[in-house]
Amino acid sequence: MIWEESHLYKNSLRQLDRAASVMDLDPNILIRLHTPKRALIVSVPVMMDDGKIKVFDGYRVHHNMILGPAKGGIRYHQDVTLSEVAALAMLMTFKCSLMALPLGGAKGGICVNPSELSMGELQRMTRRYTTEILPFIGPEKDIPAPDIGTNGQVMSWIMDTYSQEVGHAVPGVVTGKPIDVGGSLGREEATGRGVVYTIIEAAKVANMNLDESISVSIQGYGNVGGAAARKIEKIGCKITSISDVSGGIYNANGLNLDDVKTYLDKNKVLKGYPEADFVTNTELLELDCDILIPAALDGQITERNADKIKAKIIAEGANGPTTSAGDQILNDRGVLVIPDILANAGGVVVSYFEWVQGLQHLFWTEKEVNNKLWDIMSAAFHRVHHISQERKVSIRTAALVAGIDRLASAMKTRGFFP
């Protein structure tokens, strides 16, 4: 089937099936969750700066909308496919349900390397993509947000294009917006902050004291990895390794993030940073550390490297960074893996806060946002941990069981149509 072409989709199905068998899920519900509700494939013609038109492939997938409007990011990356976007939409369904949000699961993307576009090209591509998916989105239907390769500026263009079309400002059509167009305080760093909140709770159950003796490796120093690094440094742990597309840097005594920032502001990439050794993105995963945060792309931890990972806790900042085979090895070795749908859910939780604030035209303080985020993240962690103890399953399977359980009962109560 077309959906199943990517490793990520196959991997997500395996996770779903495992959770379904643990919880004895009704096969009529399971079969409905195996494929998305619907998908839109669009061509996105863009007038490039040289006067030539290029056409990019774009997608928006709605996996499930039983609990509320579909929610999920838009990814700009050269490896985006329909199947990958569909898998990510499925993960969003389970993530939103697990976090008890009144939202379904969606994802979108364009197959493009955004770093090769000028600002003008990026804006024209975003506005044309928005126009093409316009009938699919809206504050009551489907609310996009940033993902890999997109940011607050891209969200503002989407919001503006949508608003121009309907004739008035509609802040609730996207989340992850800058504050001046109706964004929420705390949204930008919410995913990284949420990753650290789950690490705090995981450390308690693992009897690990989060102090300067704890070393942390982070793969990916973007929106998620960067915010997680700053937060975990504040707690008092030592960041020994970070990476970006150019590779990674490692210093066993700990990296000084302020110095790294100064270097990055000047050089744009980590490669060449003087106070550390250079490592590849693959080597980074196998370095000595207590906590590993994969916060880059999917499919990073596999059967090839899972037995070489030294971390005791892995918090998945990225979506789908561990394959099923890799996950099995980590479980057998007793590594505590906080799965993506739990670890990185802080982003969509504060997206939900942003959407609610936008609908009410009433905005919260950053403290309120962070406190509410903490309450939701820590409660979700303990709910999941309890299921994992009770059913003797991994935290990943327990998180899926919790998410699917809430969704399945809503599906049953609403009933099948026709």
Q: Using CB under 6 A as the criterion, which residues of the chain lie in contact with ligand GLU when the complex forms?
A: 71-73, 145, 147, 175, 319, 344, 347-348, 351
Find the shortest distance in angstroms from Cβ 162 to ligand GLU. Answer: 16
Whether residue 177 lies in the annotated active site: no
Q: Which lies closer to ligand GLU via its Cβ, residue 250 or residue 352?
A: 352
- Smallest distance, ligand GLU to C-beta of residue 266, A: 29
Q: How far apart are CA 130 and CA 224, in angstroms?
A: 25
Angstrom distance (rounded) from CA 287 to CA 216 = 10
**Closest residue (Cβ) to ligand GLU?**
73
Element housing 75 (H / E)? strand 70-77
For residue 416, which phi and psi values (nearest 5 degrees)? -85, 145
Closer Cβ to ligand GLU, 25 or 225, answer by number: 225
Q: What is residue 416's three-state secondary structure?
A: coil
Between CA 35 and CA 196 the distance in angstroms is 32
CB nearer to ligand GLU: give 39 or 329.
39
Q: Which residues pair with 146 in a beta bridge?
A: 74
CB of 45 to ligand GLU, least distance (A): 26
Torsion of CA 112, 115, 116, 119, to 10 degrees: 100
d(C-alpha 352, C-alpha 287), whole Å: 36
Which two three-digit tokens encode residue 134? 């316009």
Helices (H), 58-141: 82-98, 119-133
**Which residue, 73 or 403, has its beta carbon nearer to ligand GLU?**
73
Which residues, listed in sequence order, are joined to residue 60 by a DSSP beta bridge? 40, 108
Own/partner long-range contacts of 47-54 (Cβ < 8 Å, ≥24 apart): 47/124, 48/121, 49/118, 49/120, 49/121
d(CA 91, CA 94): 5
CB of 75 to ligand GLU, least distance (A): 8
Of 11 and 175, which CB lies nearer to ligand GLU in the complex structure? Answer: 175
Report yes or no: 301 and 72 within 8 Å, Cβ to Cβ. no
- Shortest spacing between CB 155 and ligand GLU, in angstroms: 10
- With respect to ligand GLU, which residue has the nearer C-beta, 215 or 351? 351
Closer by beta carbon to ligand GLU, 33 or else 345: 345
CB of 73 to ligand GLU, least distance (A): 3
Nearer to ligand GLU (CB atom), residue 73 or residue 326? 73
Q: How far apart are CA 390 and CA 405, in angstroms?
A: 15
| Among 95, 107, 177, 231, the one annotated catalytic | 107
Instruction: Tell me if 176 sits within 8 A of 152, measured CB to CB.
Output: yes
User: Please, what is the minimum distance in Å from the beta carbon of residue 255 to ligand GLU?
Assistant: 26
* Edge-to-edge strand list for the sheet holding 70-77: 38-47, 53-64, 104-111, 70-77, 142-146
Which whole-number Å values give the CA distances from 316 to 23, 104, 224, in the listed order? 23, 21, 10
Provide the minimum distance between the beta carbon of 127 and ligand GLU in the complex, in angstroms, as a whole number.
Answer: 20
User: Do residues 159 and 144 lie in contact, with contact meaning Cβ atoms separated by under 8 Å?
Assistant: no
Amino acid making up residue 30: L
315 has which bridge partners?
A: 338
List the catalytic residues: 107
